[in-house]
Structure 1
Amino acid sequence: MDTPGTLLNEDGDHAVLLLHGLSSSPLEMRFLARYLNGENFTTCVPVLEGYSAGTAEQPMEQWIDAALAAYDSLAARYPRVSVCGLSIGAALALSVVRRRPSAQALVLLSLTLSYDGWAIPWYRFLLDWVYYTPMRTRWRYREHEPFGLRNEALRGKIARAMQRNAISEVGPASISVPALHEASRLAALVRAELKDVRRDCLIIHAIDDETSSPHNARFVAANIGASFLRTIWLDDSYHMITSDNEREVVARECASFLRDSAAASSAADGGSMPVVSRALARRLRQLAAIGKERV
C-alpha cells in the first residue's frame, strides 16, 4: 500500500487541520476528513516532514514546526481554522494550538501522553533506555493485535495488510525507538503547557483503549485551560476510533462540536449565526409562526 500525500478537501470557510498518529499517514484520518468535508468543512490531512511515514525522522521540534506551517497555510486562506489530532497527533495538536491561540477549536482523539493501555507490553518502559544504546537504530517496536481495533473483521484485514506492507489505514507495522523517544519528549512538553491552551476543546476517548488508558484524557480534562470543554467516552472501540466501530459517532460529534464552537464565537463577536440544518431551520420557523399567532 502506497503512503498517500497530503489530503486536501476544500469546501467551507472553516478549515480543519487533521494530524494523524506517530509514523503513520493521512489514511488514518481519511474517513473523518471526508465526513467533515461533507458537512461543509475544508479538511487538510498533511504529510509532516520528520513525523509522517516515508519521511526522514526528525526531533519533535521539527514535527511542531511542520504542523505549524500547515496551520499557517490554512490560516492564510480561511477565516476559521481548527486543529484535530489522533493519538500522538492529539499531543501535537495541543502543541500547535498552544502556539497558535487564534485557532477556533481543538479536537483530541485517543489522546496519548503515556503508552499505558492494557495491551502495551510490560517491557515498554525499557524503550527509553534502549534509545541511549546502539540498539536504538536496530530495534523497532512492532504493532500487534488488536491493532487498535475492536472490530474483528477489520482487525483481520489490517493484520494481512501489515504482513504485506509497512503501513496500513490504522498505522505503521512498526515504530522506531527514536520516534518513540521523541514522542515522549513531546508528551512532556505538552504536559507543561496544558494550562496555557485556552481554546474550545473536545476530547473523545474509548474506555477500553488498549494503547492509551482513559487516564490520558482525564489528565488533560483536569488541567487544560480550555474556555469550553466537552468529553465523550466510547464503549465499543479501541484506540483507532477514526476507523473502529464508532467512527460515525466520532465524525458526527466532531462536526457538531466544531459548528457549536463557531456559532458561539460568532455570537460573542456580534456576527450572524451560521446556517443550521434544514430540519432545525424549519422547526425554528414553525415556532416563530406559532409565537406570532399567539401575539
Structure 2
Amino acid sequence: MMKVIKPKSFFLKGGTKAVLLLHSFTSNPRDMKQLGRYLNGKGYTCFAPIYKGHGLSPEQLIQTNPTDWWKSVEEGYHFLKNQGCKHIAVIGVSLGGVFALNVGKRFNDVNGIVIMSVPYKREVNSLKGRILKFARAYKQFEGKEEQQICVEIKKLEKLSSERLVLLKNHIDMTMQDLEINKPIRIMYGELDEPLYKESANYIYDNLITGNKSLKGYLNSKHLMTLGKEQEVIHSDILSFLKKLQW
C-alpha cells in the first residue's frame, strides 16, 4: 500500500509586505504554491499554513473542526507578524476565502483581502459529498481495494455529520456579518457551480467597504489558482496588491 506524504505549510521570505495564503477545504497549501512563488518573485513575503487535520487521512480530518482550522489561520497570521511583517494582505480560495473574510474582520492591520470561489450557502449534504469525494480519492491513491474503500466510506458518512454542521454554521455566521472596511477583490470562476457566482454577488452587495471589486473568469472552475486562467489571475492579484496602502 502506498504511503501518502503529508503536505506542509510553506514560507517564502521576501520584503516587509506580506501575504497570508489560505487553502480550500479538504485540501492543503499546494492550492496556493504557484501563486505564492509568483508573488514572492515580485518581492512579497508569503506564508501558507496548513489547517489542523488537513493533509491527513479523511478519518483524521473529521476529528478536527472549524475552530481548529481557524486557529491554524490565526497562527499563520501571527507567524508573519513575528517575522517582522508589519502589514499583511490575505488571499483565500473557497474555505480559505471564508477565513480571509474573518481575518479582515478580526485584525485591524490587514491591508487588503482577495477571495476566490467563496461559498455563501452550503448545505451539510453538499459538504459531506466533498468529504466523501476526497476520501475516495485518498484511499484510491493509497492503493486500497474497492470493497475496502466502500466499507471505510460508509463509516465516514456516519462520523462526519457533526463536524460538517459546525462548518455550515461557520460559513453562515461569516456571511451574516460582512462589516469589513478593507479593500477587497472578489473573484469567481464562470465554470464553477452557479452558487459561487451568486455568493460573489452577495458578498459584494453586503460589504460595507467602498473599495471593492468583483470579477468572473470565463474559463475558470472552482480551484482558480491552478486553472487555465492562472496567469491572468496572478496578474490581477498583483495589480490589486500594488494599489494597497502599505
* Superposed pair shares fold, TM > 0.5: yes
Correspondence 1:85 to 2:92: yes
Correspondence 1:63 to 2:69: yes
Which residues in structure 2 correspond to 1:113-192 (within 5 Å)?
A: 113-115=120-122, 126=125, 140-142=131-133, 163-165=140-142, 176-192=160-176
- What CA distance in whole angstroms lies between the structure 2 residues aligned with 1:220 and 1:235? 20
Counterpart residue identity of residue 69, structure 1: E
Deviation at 1:109, TM superposition (A): 0.9
CA RMSD of aligned residues (A): 2.9
Which residue of 228, 231, 244 maps to 2:214? 231
Runs of 4+ in 1 over 6 A off after TM superposition: 159-162
Which residues in structure 2 correspond to 1:18-33 (within 5 Å)?
A: 18-33=21-36
- What CA distance in whole angstroms lies between the structure 1 residues aligned with 2:132 and 2:36? 28
Contact 1:205 1:234 in 2 (8 A): yes
- Alpha-carbon spacing, 1:211–1:20, altered in 2? closer, same or farther (3 Å): farther
Contact 2:29 2:49 in 1 (8 A): yes
- Alpha-carbon spacing, 1:9–1:162, altered in 2? closer, same or farther (3 Å): farther
Contact 2:121 2:172 in 1 (8 A): no
Partner-residue secondary structure (3-state), 1:142 = helix
Counterpart residue identity of residue 27, structure 1: R
Which residue of 3, 6, 16 maps to 1:3? 6
Which residue of 38, 41, 57 maps to 2:41? 38
- What CA distance in whole angstroms lies between the structure 2 residues aligned with 1:141 and 1:83? 29
- What CA distance in whole angstroms lies between the structure 2 residues aligned with 1:41 and 1:186? 30
Deviation at 1:30, TM superposition (A): 1.0
Counterpart residue identity of residue 239, structure 1: H
Deviation at 1:63, TM superposition (A): 2.2
Q: Please give the TM-score of this superposition, normalised by the length of structure 1.
A: 0.68
- What CA distance in whole angstroms lies between the structure 2 residues aligned with 1:32 and 1:39? 11
Deviation at 1:177, TM superposition (A): 3.8
Deviation at 1:182, TM superposition (A): 2.8
Number of corresponding residues: 224
Q: Please give the TM-score of this superposition, normalised by the length of structure 2.
A: 0.80
Correspondence 1:104 to 2:111: yes
Which residues in structure 2 correspond to 1:43-58 (within 5 Å)?
A: 43-50=46-53, 52-54=54-56, 56=61, 57-58=63-64
Which residue of 72, 93, 101 maps to 1:94? 101
- What CA distance in whole angstroms lies between the structure 2 residues aligned with 1:215 and 1:111? 10
Counterpart residue identity of residue 206, structure 1: G
Which residue of 72, 75, 86 maps to 2:81? 75
Deviation at 1:68, TM superposition (A): 1.3
Which residue of 191, 197, 207 maps to 1:214? 197
Contact 2:28 2:51 in 1 (8 A): no
Counterpart residue identity of residue 10, structure 1: K
- Alpha-carbon spacing, 1:99–1:143, altered in 2? closer, same or farther (3 Å): same
Contact 1:108 1:204 in 2 (8 A): yes
Give structure 2 stretches of 5+ with no counterpart: 144-152
> Residue deviations 1:36-92, cap 9 Å, x none?
111111111111224x23265333223222211211221232021111111011001
Counterpart residue identity of residue 214, structure 2: T
Partner-residue secondary structure (3-state), 1:215 = helix
- What CA distance in whole angstroms lies between the structure 2 residues aligned with 1:160 and 1:248? 28
- Alpha-carbon spacing, 1:5–1:73, altered in 2? closer, same or farther (3 Å): same
Contact 2:21 2:46 in 1 (8 A): yes
Percent of aligned pairs with the same amino acid: 23
Structure whose alpha-carbon radius of gyration is higher: 1
Deviation at 1:96, TM superposition (A): 1.6
Deviation at 1:113, TM superposition (A): 2.5
Partner of residue 193, structure 1: 177
- What CA distance in whole angstroms lies between the structure 2 residues aligned with 1:5 and 1:211? 32
- Alpha-carbon spacing, 1:163–1:247, altered in 2? closer, same or farther (3 Å): farther
